[in-house]
Amino acid sequence: MNTYAPYDFNDINIAQAHGQPNQVYLDSAIFKYWCRSLYQRMTSIFEWTVPESWQGKNKDFFNWLLFAQGYVGIINSEDYGYIFQPCQPGADRNIFYQVNSFIITNPYDSKISREYKKGVDIEILELTPDYMGVFDIIHHFASRLSFLYTAVNTSLLVCRNPRILASRSKTGAQALKIAMDKIVSGDPFIIFDQQIMWPDAKTKEDALFDINPTPAKENYITSMLLEDEKTILKEFDSSVGIMNLDSSDGKKERLVTSEAEAQMTNSTAAAYAWYDCLKDSIDNIKRLFPDIDLDVKLRYQTQDVNETTGGDDDVPGSGDTERN
């Protein structure tokens, strides 16, 4: 079972192709890699206190339900004590159309499979208030990073063969394909009969193809693409609440207070929204189950800005050395 990516990008490509001819596709293996990597990165923003029976592999399942589904049901079962379970909204609603019941369907224990009344025998731990997970964020950034790595691979291939090749005939094209296959396979040089360069050995007119050398430096954009990876990851961190106080241009100087505060605000907005929702849910859970050992805190707490950055708003001097 695929633990991290609930959708294969083959399915997404097919769905997109219904709207218009889909000429752009992502490598599913790369996409799944980034989904797993970003998921693990995202789950690091919270530190949990949970019942002992939830630890280990059960904790992994807990995280998966919370971030992929967006919520888990908490019950006090006769056989297992306090447990979390995947659940679905039931039919019962209140006057404001809010869900009043949830259904647990566990194929491994029929005794806990039934409809539960919210606030009576079940409470819901919610990451977001709309009963939705946050894998849309992961998919968004995983898609961008997948496209980026396709460009990285292409850039590396071009750097191995920094030439533009044009053929005037099928014979010349076939010769170029053979040469390219050898280059891609790693051959450091290609040897062929010079006669394939000419249609007529006597007249030597109109070469079958042209070889136009291009400086390797002009084709090498890999370093820029890898810098773009850092930028995308930094944007992902900011969107999920992982603070990153590095300056955008990669310089090592410290940020002034106002700059650091702005970055901290951007980095913690989503995390605090999720955190507030979790804390409200935990309050409801503890009202129903007062002795449950359950709590959460943010791993990346906002620290004192001056301690973090060492800068001030009004520092005399225009240079970085005087400012710092």
Q: How many domains does the chain have?
A: 2
User: Residue 176 CB: number of other CB atoms within 10 A?
Assistant: 18
Assess whether 134 and 173 both reside in one domain.
no
Assess whether 207 and 123 both reside in one domain.
no
Assess whether 12 and 96 both reside in one domain.
yes
What predicted TM-score, i.e. pTM, was given to this entire model? 0.67
- CATH number at 20 reads 2.40.500.10
Assess whether 198 and 229 both reside in one domain.
no
- Beta-strand ranges (E) seen in the chain are 46-49, 71-77, 81-85, 88-89, 101-104, 114-117, 123-126, 163-167, 209-213, 295-298
Domain that holds residue 192: 163-213
Exposed, middle or buried, 283 (CB in 10 Å: 0-12/13-18/19+)? exposed
Copy the structure tokens of residue 133.
Answer: 């997970």
> Can you tell me whether residue 125 is helix, strand or coil?
strand
Tell me how far apart the alpha carbons of residues 218 and 83 are, in angstroms, rounded to a whole number: 59
Assess whether 173 and 149 both reside in one domain.
no
Assess whether 175 and 321 both reside in one domain.
no
Assess whether 189 and 251 both reside in one domain.
no
- Last residue of some domain: 143, 178, 213? 213
Beta bridge partners of 115: 103
115-133 burial, b at 16+ Cβ within 10 Å, e below that, comes to: bbebeeebbbbbbbeeeeb
- Output the tens digit of pLDDT for each of the chain's 324 residues: 344 444 555 565 555 555 444 445 566 788 889 999 999 999 989 999 999 999 999 999 999 999 999 999 999 999 999 999 999 999 999 999 999 999 999 999 999 999 999 999 999 999 988 888 999 999 999 989 988 887 787 777 767 655 656 666 677 777 777 777 766 555 556 666 666 655 555 555 555 555 555 555 666 778 888 899 999 998 898 888 887 645 444 444 454 554 445 455 455 567 888 999 999 999 999 999 999 999 999 887 654 433 344 444 444 444 444 433
Assess whether 204 and 135 both reside in one domain.
no
Structure-derived torsion over alpha carbons of residues 22, 27, 29, 35, reported in degrees to the nearest 10:
-70
Tell me how far apart the alpha carbons of residues 131 and 75 are, in angstroms, rounded to a whole number: 18
Assess whether 91 and 172 both reside in one domain.
no
